[in-house]
Chain A
Amino acid sequence: MKDRISIVVMVDAVGALSDRTLHNGNLSLVDDSSGSKHQGTPDLITTVIPGQVVQWTPIHIDVQTPVEIYSIEFLPGAPAAPPAGPSPAAPPPVDAMGSNGTENHDLLVWEGVVPYDMTPGVPYRYRLSLKLHEGPNSVLHVDSPALMRV
């Protein structure tokens, strides 16, 4: 078993900003886990084992264009009970402020340990939000990738 699974987030920033979507071939997700499905697409399902560390790393196709991971949120299913209180799956976003007073999402390391109570064989989809430069059109997301315990 590998200790660590790496998911590479490759973005054509100019394509994504022009099309205003991470689809149309503007986003490619690749991992180094064996048995993962839909490699190279936004629909990547990464196979994981409890105890492994999963790390997401953004890579830009245009080397001079900033591409940052803005957030990763696992999407909860329909609650069995009436919703009460904040969803445990949507913690407050982590502060990305740099010491010079400007936001820098490059400060954030997107990695976490696969918990032992994860249900096997079920894809846990997540919303991957990326920040491309800054401004009202700069944050784009997909809800299609997932982690799945084998």
Chain B
Amino acid sequence: MAQQHGIIVLFDVENALRTRSLAGNTYWFDNMKLFGSTGEGTEHLVTIVPGTHFMDGSQATEQVLNWLPAALGAIPPTVPRNYLAEQERADDRRTLDQLASLNADGGVSDTDLKRLQKRVGKRARKPAGGRGLTAAKLLDVTGKTTSSAGAYNYPAPVITDITGPAVTEKIMYPAQYGSPDMIYDGWYWAATVDTSRPGEYPYTMHVQLHELIEQNDEMIWESVDLTCESTLKITTDPKRNGFTGAGLGLLPLPAVPATG
């Protein structure tokens, strides 16, 4: 049984937003270097999909691809996505606790107020028709509340579609799936692959990045749609018996088994 292929795409979001292009701003990885993938860690990854078939020609193993986008310079994907919401809530609780204790003291100093105002932070509004982001308090790249539009943690890029020859030629069947996995926020793109037609097949990934815009004294998430490309290399080889190298045979038992 083959393992699932994870294809990680790391986006230099800051550069991509500045140049409004993903050219030179994506780094691709998969876990198939040992089977012949090339271009690991560059924008020219060719993902090997080593198919196998039985002697009658039927496909033996199902090859599954998963795409996992990540933003360079952001809180890494190992931190669960609900973390941002959790941090925001924990922060609000602390602020409320401190507000309560301020009242009890009777006097309120300027420094106390400033500190609390900072903790309340700023919220970014979600533009009408935008997707993927909720109106939430801004956090910086270490998970602390920030009121600075220059320090916010880049939201993870969102894959919106996968197209191109690998799809139109029915080599892979990509779709977005829901999952209880909190690491990837419950949504991920995956595809099964038809390995019966060996060859190289490019595909295009459609991605949405999000930029925080200050407009009329308000912060708004603006979505930026971009595309980038990668390639699948399909091979297929016949399955053979591990004991005989050909078809089914007798188990190679010794005349006398080992003792003990």
Which of B13-21, B102-110, B208-216, B241-249 lies at the binding interface?
B241-249
A-B contact count (CB 8 A): 145
Q: Of all chain B residues, which has the CB nearest A63?
A: B4
Verify if A137 is at the interface (C-beta below 8 Å from B): no
Known contacts A88-B255, A106-B61, then 14 further A-B pairs from the complex at CB < 8 Å, ordered by chain A residue:
A65-B31, A66-B3, A74-B253, A75-B257, A77-B257, A77-B258, A88-B252, A94-B242, A95-B245, A112-B243, A113-B248, A113-B249, A119-B257, A147-B253
Question: B1 at the A/B interface (Cβ < 8 Å)?
Answer: yes
The answer to whether B248 and A111 have CB atoms under 8 Å apart is yes
| Contact indicator A80/B241 (Cβ below 8 Å) | no
Which of A58, A66, A99 interacts with B235 by CB under 8 Å?
Answer: A99
B183 CB to nearest chain A CB (Å): 12
Contacts of A91 in B (CB 8 A): 243, 252
Question: Are A133 and B238 in contact, CB atoms less than 8 angstroms apart?
Answer: no
In B208-260, which residues have CB < 8 Å from any A CB? 233, 235-245, 248-259
B-side contacts of A99, CB under 8 Å: 198, 235-237
Determine the distance from Cα of A76 to Cα of B243 in the docked complex, in whole angstroms.
Answer: 16
Q: How far is the CB of B35 from chain A (nearest CB, A)?
A: 5
**A64 vs B35: C-alpha distance when bound (angstroms):** 13
B241 with A111: CB separation less than 8 A: yes
In the assembled complex, 13 residue pairs joining A and B whose CB atoms fall closer than 8 Å, in A order, are A67-B3, A72-B243, A74-B252, A88-B252, A98-B50, A99-B235, A101-B36, A108-B242, A109-B240, A112-B244, A113-B251, A123-B257, A133-B34
B70 contacts partner chain A, Cβ-Cβ < 8 Å = no
Which residues of the other chain, A, contact B248 by a CB distance below 8 angstroms?
A: 53, 111-113
Chain A, range 37-86, C-beta contacts under 8 Å to B: 53-54, 57-60, 63-67, 69, 71-80
B5's nearest neighbour on chain A, judged by CB, is A64
- Tell me how far the C-beta of A67 lies from the nearest C-beta in chain B, rounded to whole angstroms: 7
Q: Do B242 and A69 touch across chains, with their CB atoms under 8 A apart?
A: yes
